[in-house]
Amino acid sequence: MYDANTPKRQGLEKPELFLRQGKDAEIISLISEFPSIKQKTLSECIASRRSLREYKDTFLSFEEISYLLWETSRVDYYRDNAVFRTIPTAGATNSMETYVFINNVEKIKSGIYLYLQDKHQLALVRREKQLDLKVNDALLKQLRGAQAVIFFTCIPARTEYKYAFCAHKMIAMEAGHACQNLSLSAEVINSGVCAICAYNQVLVDDLLNVDGEKHFTIYCATVGKKK
């Protein structure tokens, strides 16, 4: 790795730090204070965390979805060449983006949204009839009534810029860090997560409007209330 002729060593332009939707995109600002959420100890969350595949027929509150994204995918601060997040990201390169399928969440219309990680906002990507059926097909019938689905995507060039071929294992680990944060945060709100790697890559990437080559889905997770 130390001898690799990386794009950085070649003096090439650094990839963008964050994705943005078009200027006319519908934007939802999330909250960053959570007065109704009773915190649990880390030991309690680790002890109770299990993959959850059956969910209560209810909804997540606006506060709860805000909390999950705040603890999982937010950016604390950044500068021109580094992004510092709630999770470890190799060399502060920030390979990941987070998308959310809102299925049943208070005050938010169902749809697929890009999480604007430096602004703690959601930007609408798509909204259409029977979107839940398309999501379920893309997840190989694993939606199971979850209130939300989190999609972690990656843009390998961000980390390859600094680490060349070693970037790929780093990106996979970054997705794992994020999903673990999601799982533990869900325990705080009496919810559960099922991490999913078995999905239809083409269908999921198409749902998120990512090209599947330079930007593609690397991990998914359904989220829902415990019965």
20 is a domain residue? no
10 is a domain residue? no
pLDDT for residue 182 is more than 90: yes
Nearest Cα neighbor of 69 from 30, 20, 15, 16 is: 30
What pLDDT score was predicted for residue 6? 79
pLDDT digits (tens, 9 = 90+) for 13-32: 778 888 887 788 899 999 99
What pLDDT score was predicted for residue 23? 80
pLDDT band at 217 (very low <50, low <70, confident <90, very high): very high
pLDDT digits (tens, 9 = 90+) for 97-121: 999 999 999 999 999 999 999 999 9
4 is a domain residue? no
Query: For residues 193 and 52, is the Cβ–Cβ distance under 8 A?
Result: yes
- Please report, rounded to a whole number, the percentage of residues in the chain having pLDDT higher than 90: 83
139 is a domain residue? yes
DSSP conformation class of 90 = G
Count the domains in the chain. 1
27 is a domain residue? no
> Cα angle vertex 196, ends 65, 106, to 5°?
20
Mean pLDDT of 134-147: 97
Handedness of CA 189, 193, 141, 227 (dihedral sign): negative
Mean pLDDT of the chain: 93
Per the structure, the complete domain to which residue 172 belongs is given by 39-225
> In what side-by-side order are the strands of the sheet with 111-116?
27-29, 121-126, 111-116, 96-102, 148-154, 216-225, 191-196
pLDDT digits (tens, 9 = 90+) for 73-99: 999 989 888 899 999 999 899 999 999
pLDDT band at 2 (very low <50, low <70, confident <90, very high): low
Give the separation between CA 72 and CA 85, rounded to whole angstroms. Answer: 9
Mean pLDDT of 113-133: 96
What pLDDT score was predicted for residue 13? 77
Two structure tokens written together for 211: 């090209």
32 is a domain residue? no
Nearest Cα neighbor of 150 from 207, 220, 65 is: 220
Mean pLDDT of 205-226: 97
46 is a domain residue? yes
The CATH number assigned to the domain holding 93 equals: 3.40.109.10
In sequence order, the 6+-apart residues with CB closer than 8 A to the CB of 186 are 68, 192, 193, 223
pLDDT for residue 194 is more than 70: yes
2 is a domain residue? no
> Cα angle vertex 110, ends 220, 72, to 5°?
40
Two structure tokens written together for 101: 């399928």
Nearest Cα neighbor of 135 from 151, 117, 123 is: 151
Nearest Cα neighbor of 185 from 69, 77, 101, 88 is: 69
What pLDDT score was predicted for residue 1? 55
Nearest Cα neighbor of 16 from 93, 87, 88 is: 93
pLDDT for residue 3 is more than 70: no
What pLDDT score was predicted for residue 16? 84
Q: What are residue 7's phi and psi, to 5 degrees? A: -55, -35
